[in-house]
Structure formats: C-alpha cells, structure tokens
Chain A
C-alpha cells in the first residue's frame, strides 16, 4: 500500500468548511483513497472513498487531483462534533484487505 502524508493537526472555525489535505505520491493505478475518522476513544468511522473522480456523500466531499498524487477531504460546514483524528488511507482492492492507519490529522473545530 502507498504511504500517505498528512499534517499532524489543524484547526477550523465552527460553520466553516474544513479542508484536510493528504499526499499519496506513490499511489498505484488500482489503489483507492479512503478516509476514516476517529472521535475520541471511539472506533474509527468510515467517511468516504474514491479512485480518481471526485466523490460526495452526506458526510463529506473528496477531491482527488488529476495525477492522483494528492487529495482533499472537505467537511462543508464543520460542527463541534467533527473534532476528531482523520486518517487518509490508500489501499488496493485485490487480495489485500489491510487498512494501514498512520497517525492522521487531529482536526479541532473552534467555537
């Protein structure tokens, strides 16, 4: 699995859009980008994933650059409940079911 690089921490004002970057310059053609988050002491929660097109669901949007070497997770209207550690994970889909969690980005939403 490709390695990812994320900033260790970020702050965002409540009500604003939170933009969390992730670099994955060694991603290969069949690897997807997944985002999970972990709210304090709870199990990780799936947010969104994508291959090369931008994706949106009820939680967030995922923007993947054309060369697929980086992506951005967007929480459109951050609330205090979005304070969590966010993990960007690159993972293949055939024969390897491992999710490799790094240290993620600790996002703090400021009231």
Chain B
C-alpha cells in the first residue's frame, strides 16, 4: 500500500513551457486535491475532485487545469508556466466519511520556473 504518490519529485521549467504533474492513490479514495505551498506559507488549495470525472476550483486555480479520468489518478497541468508558479505542489486524497474526513498527502513536487 503506497498511499499517495507524486510524479515527478523535482522539475525545472522555462517560462512558457507546459507540464503535467501526476498524483496517484491506492486507497480507493473518492476525493483528491492539489495544493501549492510557497516559502513560509501554509498550503493553498488549487483544484479538487469529489469523484471520477469531476473537478472543482479551489482558492488559487488560475493558470492550472486538472483532470480526473480515473478514480486513482488526479493530474495537474500547467499550460504556460510562469515564475509565479514556482512552488512545492502537494497532492492529497480522502474518503468521504459520514461526519469526518482526513486527508493523506503525497511527498510533494518541487517546481522551479525560470
């Protein structure tokens, strides 16, 4: 049981390049999330998904797109990277509990945009 995994762990892009970050979970969770964390700050929600085929915007969605074609995978895309998107990106997943819910996080992807 690997939990939540993220690919790649590190990436350097030039301004204007595109890339896709992959998140995978093997816990059969319905909910998946993408966060970004800038130095000295807490995590901010980019997009999330409440089930296969559905996505929704979080706090800071601009410049990102997501897809949830399979329940176990949640992809985050940057179509035209900007230096302001330099950050650490965390994926998380959770099950939809009756009253409570805890999120399980991946190890993160460090992205630098030059």
Which residues of B approach A to under 8 Å, CB–CB? 4, 31, 33, 35, 40-45, 48, 50, 58-59, 88, 90, 92, 94, 97, 99-108
What is the CA–CA distance of A11 and B35 in the complex, to the nearest angstrom?
28
What is the CA–CA distance of A98 and B4 in the complex, to the nearest angstrom?
18
The answer on a CB contact under 8 Å between A43 and B44 is no
Task: Tally chain A residues at the interface, Cβ within 8 Å.
Answer: 19
Number of A-B contacts (CB under 8 A): 54
- The 3 closest A-B CB pairs, nearest first, are A43-B105, A101-B42, A101-B43
**Given A87-B42, A97-B31, A101-B43: A44 touches B105 (CB 8 Å cut-off):** yes
Residues of B within 8 A of A43 (CB): 4, 90, 92, 105-108
* A39 CB to nearest chain B CB (Å): 11
The answer on a CB contact under 8 Å between B42 and A49 is no
Main secondary structure of the interface of A (DSSP, over half): loop
Of listed B48, B58, B100, B107, residue having the most chain A CB within 10 A? B100
Q: Does A103 contact B (CB under 8 A)?
A: yes
Residues of B within 8 A of A44 (CB): 43, 90, 92, 103, 105
The answer on a CB contact under 8 Å between B41 and A99 is no
What is the CA–CA distance of A87 and B40 in the complex, to the nearest angstrom?
13
Given A101-B42, A101-B44, 18 other A-B contacts at CB below 8 A? Answer: A43-B90, A43-B107, A44-B103, A44-B105, A46-B102, A49-B100, A93-B99, A93-B100, A97-B31, A97-B33, A97-B48, A97-B101, A98-B48, A98-B58, A99-B43, A99-B45, A102-B42, A103-B40
Residues of A within 8 A of B108 (CB): 41-43
In the complex, 13 of the A-B residue pairs with CB atoms within 8 angstroms, ordered by the A residue number, are A32-B99, A32-B100, A43-B4, A43-B90, A43-B92, A49-B100, A97-B50, A98-B45, A98-B59, A99-B45, A101-B43, A101-B44, A103-B42
